[in-house]
Structure 1
């Protein structure tokens, strides 16, 4: 039976992070993950996680200046210092909250210089993270939702993971983004299974609840179960209405 992690970047996003963790626990989730928790005292987050018994599976590096159009820093050649500061910040927060994974956001860029910057910053981050037993993740993000994002395809991500050459760099496989790029989700999960560090999902193409849309998650979750994938799957979808009223899918996929 599948286990699920509530992504608190979208679910219960209106609540302070500790309250959102408690809401996810009350709803029956097995874990939580978040986007950018840095304004919240990590000790308060850690205490809430210990109290609820939920693990925090992942968090993102800071996205940079959103008002200037930034959406990640690691592939921006002119933002090397800021990118590494964001990686250091994420590692510090992950250590303080016992969070296992850090998604290093590439940002909006293209070309050889961007790729070189991304690889160099990932090598820096992997070395720093390894000292704490942490895993870094990179995630292809579809070009419809975030035009200009550097990392958009599974093949591109796999090539970069090979070039970085670090055991603690893995693939964040977001079924929604993969499907929106026109790729076969189950084929991708099968092909890249050894490189996958975390799986996320949402309905396609709306990015709403997973039981609505073009992608059959009964098949996706059955494939993962048969393949022996037992880690909680990240529910990173945008609820219509309240988070609580969007959770009918949980019973459908936990039977």
Structure 2
């Protein structure tokens, strides 16, 4: 019965076998890249669900604000949308604080706009939360994989020098295990870059929706101030007319 020699035994180069055969440093690099890939897809799923729900609520809130007759009525209509409700409450709060400053419609508009811009900027930062990790993975994962490859090849050549064996069968497994780290680096980096760009576009669309809500709120504020101007004008004209009536005719 013939006995298989080491050269005749088929070598297995499956990713799992190469992972098990890699050194501790290369194996740690592979585990780190696998965790980075899992984090990338987790962020993608979570942010996609969050942004899709937010866009739906922003569109619905914008329609409700278009139908609102005044800022007071918009408060009840926007309770299902956190962003729209926050914008409406901020405008009402500033209007309440400015009640002792009569005939200052333009100043009130400016103060409300400043307040809403701060809320809008805060919402933009919240939308991009978590995407910074994607940018980091996309930028560093190839270099981390390259580090694992270089370290694995160094280890392979060190083993060759120690054993004084120059056969390709001896060199190939170590080099293949090292190159697997580079492949994992690309597997982690490429989806991270693509997903980051996709989520950035989705966040930009949501920011445009928030800007539309801000414009709708300011339109309601302007409409309410326009309704107050005739009242203020009559309050100023009537006392003046009564004083003229008291002047005796010559």
The TM-score, its normalising length taken from structure 2, stands at 0.19
Determine which structure has more spread, i.e. the larger CA radius of gyration.
Answer: 2
Query: Higher relative contact order by CA 8 Å / sep ≥ 6: 1 or 2?
Result: 2
User: When the two structures are superposed, what TM-score results if normalisation uses the length of structure 1?
Assistant: 0.19
Q: Counting helix residues as a fraction of each chain, which structure ranks higher?
A: 2
Question: More strand by proportion, 1 or 2?
Answer: 1
